[in-house]
Amino acid sequence: MEQHKRKQPHTFEAIWQLARQIPFGRVTTYGRLARLAGDPRLSRVVGYAMHGAPPDVPCHRVVNRQGELSDAFSPLGKATHRALLEAEGVPFLPDGRVDLKAVLWPRP
DNA sequence: AGTATGACATAGC
DNA sequence: AGCTATGCCATAC
């Protein structure tokens, strides 16, 4: 019997596809993408997908639940991440985190 | 080849 | 309220 295939054949590709749908000036979270991908537990996989994501994927628009990017966004560092988002008009909080309630996508 | 780890999140205590 | 434990896919050694 076939064990129910609870995973899709192209998880990474699905995640990248969703990440590409993030509009300009908007941000989303790993868990949100994972949920859209079909499984809320793939949040970790989403992070890894970003690690191997092609330049087509605006991985800088993907942040964690706290509204800040991971410590290893890219060899450039978090400073570059903040600069990229600010360049898109993304508001930041005094804590240095992204104002998710203002740019979170899709809007709640 | 199998083990361990990693760009997170949720649930339980 | 904050900390611990678990789940997931893919890559690295």
Q: What is the CATH number of the domain that holds A30?
A: 1.10.10.10
Q: How confident is the model at residue A1 (pLDDT cuts 50, 70, 90)?
A: very low
In a domain, A108, yes or no: no
CA of A17 to C1' of C7 (A): 23
Residue with tokens 């990248």: A16
Pick the catalytic residue from A33, A37, A59, A62.
A59
Does residue A87 lie within any of the structural domains? yes
A57 is catalytic: no
Which structural domain, as residue segments, surrounds residue A30? 2-103
Per residue in A24-67, pLDDT (tens digit) is: 999 999 999 999 998 899 999 999 999 999 999 999 999 999 99
Number of structural domains in chain A: 1
For residues A69, A71, A73, A74, the Cα torsion angle rounded to the nearest 10 degrees is: 150
Q: Quick one: tokens of A62?
A: 């993907």
- Average the pLDDT over A69-92 and give the result: 87
pLDDT, one tens digit per residue, over A8-24 is 678 999 999 999 999 99
Is there a domain that residue A74 lies in?
Answer: yes
Rounded, the Å distance between the CA of A62 and C1' of C12 is 24
Bases along strand C below 7 A from a protein CB = 7-11
Rounded to two decimals, the pTM is: 0.89
